[in-house]
A and B are shown apart, each in its own frame.
Chain A
Amino acid sequence: MLALVVITIVKLLVLFAFTMTCVAYGTLAERKVCGHIQDRIGPCYCGPRGLLQPLADGLKLFFKEDITPSEVDKPVFILAPVLAVAPPLLAIGVIPFGESITLFGHKIPLVVADVNVAVLYLFAVASFSVYSIVLGGWASNSKYPLLGGLRSAAQMISYELVLGLSIMGVIMLAGSFSLTDIVHAQKHWWFVLTQPLGFLIYIVAATAELNRLPFDLPEAESELVGGYHTEYSSMKFAMFFLGEYANMVVASAVGACLFLGGWNPPFAFLSFIPGIIWFLIKLFFIFFTLLWIRWSWPRLRYDQLMTFSWKYLLPLSLLNIVATAGVMLWMHRI
């Protein structure tokens, strides 16, 4: 019992440290990738090749003056940034990073909480993210944040629906809500091969849920100044970004589990490489794809954004469900 408690606490701390490192270096990766896509070299002064840049940014933001405008609704104004970081940190707890490893005679599963309804849990927790943006925009009591918050509410609920429908095919094929079971079901065929449409819709909807370009209308700086975080400064401002990058890590990890086979190697003869390495490669591949998308496409108009979700993605994901159901029937017993 004591061993179990110690193991759980160590796992929690490692997971927390891992997520925070990913977030810090995610911001650096964003700037480096952006730099190279635009034929620049990106940040390069802090440490070798700019590797200490996240540290410098963090320190700077801690020592910045925090302006709380006189019109704001203060409790909600302070609550919103905390709500931005909490959901992704909660969500990462149910992600299986690999199969069990044996250490000092104990069998340790590489997941903090192996919840059997992990997919439902993830969606429940992820939908909390919209609160931070809406409350932040509303509590600022200023025009641009309010507009950004409103847009984000409509955008995030529209794409959340599509996101939920896009993974239905995976649940049907695996017959389970548990991420561990879903990864086990992909031993031979990754679901990206049997659910290509679902994967595409997942990536598009996840990009929109994360409020990233080309769907970053809530903060469109060319028309809304900074959107929902216009009135935020110092660490409160930084926490919205911590939340955004932590959400990106979660979205990449979930994508890797649901569609890219989790810790399974692509070919059986590569199974000498530990599963956790494969999982991290897949995670960072999706993370990089999100950065790549951001720096390659222009921003959509808001009406295009909403129309795209309701008129194209929603029927497509319903079609995907019916088609998957039909093909499964045809394959199994005709």
Chain B
Amino acid sequence: MYHAISEYVPVLILLALAVGFGVVTLLVSFLVRPNDPYPDKLSPYECGIDPFTTGKLQIPVRFFVIVMLFLLFDVEAVFMYPWAAVYKKIGWYGFVEMFLFIVILLVGYIYAWAKGALEWE
């Protein structure tokens, strides 16, 4: 148990190092760079003209459909990981189980395809 936990201590140090690197870099550049703002420079970019709407656009609903599909399929992928790790030990039983699971997955996949959820006109 002690060993299992201690494996993650370097990961924690690495996390501190990674975040620290980002913060220190931004801080150093904050200290050394010139700073000369004026309103025209600070306006949002829009090919040289004054922006005439806010930056928040309406988002096409297709993006949400993709996210829902992702959630479904990704949960199934997560289910496959432990199966893959022990597949050598469970043999035929595992093969039939996963085959049935993928068939069920395919039915849903074909349904999504037929409904046009995968189309991006």
Chain A interface (Cβ within 8 Å of chain B)?
Answer: 8-9, 11-12, 16, 61-71, 78, 81-82, 85-87, 89-90, 93-94, 112-116, 120-121, 140-147, 150, 153-154, 157-158, 160-161, 164-165, 168, 171-172, 175-177, 225, 230-231, 234-236, 239, 302-303, 306-307, 310-311, 314-315, 318, 321-322, 325-326, 328-329, 332-333
**B residues within 8 A CB of A63?**
32-34
Residue contact A90 to B15, C-beta cutoff 8 Å: yes
* Contact flag A235-B29 (CB < 8 Å), given A82-B22, A85-B18, A158-B70: yes
Q: How far is the CA of A9 from the CA of B81 in the complex (A)?
A: 32
Q: How far is the CA of A150 from the CA of B60 in the complex (A)?
A: 10
B86 at the interface (CB under 8 A from A): yes
Q: How far is the CA of A71 from the CA of B42 in the complex (A)?
A: 8
Residue contact B14 to A65, C-beta cutoff 8 Å: no
Q: How far is the CA of A161 from the CA of B73 in the complex (A)?
A: 7
A234-B29, A236-B26 are known contacts; what are 13 more A-B pairs with Cβ within 8 Å?
A: A16-B17, A62-B33, A67-B41, A81-B22, A82-B22, A113-B8, A143-B57, A153-B67, A161-B73, A161-B74, A175-B86, A235-B26, A311-B118
Closest to B112 in A: A310
Residue contact A307 to B120, C-beta cutoff 8 Å: yes
What is the total of A-B residue contacts with beta carbons within 8 Å? 208
Q: How far is the CA of A81 from the CA of B85 in the complex (A)?
A: 35
27 A-B residue pairs with Cβ-Cβ distance under 8 Å, sorted by A, are: A61-B29, A66-B30, A68-B37, A70-B39, A81-B22, A81-B26, A85-B21, A93-B10, A94-B11, A113-B8, A143-B57, A157-B66, A157-B67, A161-B70, A165-B77, A168-B84, A172-B84, A175-B85, A177-B85, A235-B25, A303-B121, A306-B118, A307-B118, A307-B120, A315-B109, A322-B98, A328-B88
Residue contact B91 to A329, C-beta cutoff 8 Å: yes
How far, in Å, is B73 (CB) from chain A's closest CB?
5
Partner of A239, one of B14, B22, B36, B69: B22
Interface residues on B, range: 35 or more
Residue contact B22 to A85, C-beta cutoff 8 Å: yes
* Contact flag A168-B98 (CB < 8 Å), given A69-B44, A175-B87, A328-B88: no
Closest to A93 in B: B14
Partner of B92, one of A239, A310, A329: A329
Residue contact B44 to A71, C-beta cutoff 8 Å: yes
Q: How far is the CA of A163 from the CA of B106 in the complex (A)?
A: 18
Residue contact B45 to A230, C-beta cutoff 8 Å: yes
Q: How far is the CA of A73 from the CA of B25 in the complex (A)?
A: 20
Q: What 0/1 readout, one digit per residue, does chain B (71-99) give for beta carbons within 8 Å of chain A?
A: 00110010011001111110110110011
* Contact flag A115-B8 (CB < 8 Å), given A63-B34, A65-B36, A322-B102: yes
Partner of B29, one of A62, A86, A94, A329: A62
Q: How far is the CA of A172 from the CA of B94 in the complex (A)?
A: 11
Partner of B63, one of A8, A154, A329, A333: A154
Q: How far is the CA of A81 from the CA of B25 in the complex (A)?
A: 11
How far, in Å, is B86 (CB) from chain A's closest CB?
7
**A residues within 8 A CB of B8?**
113, 115
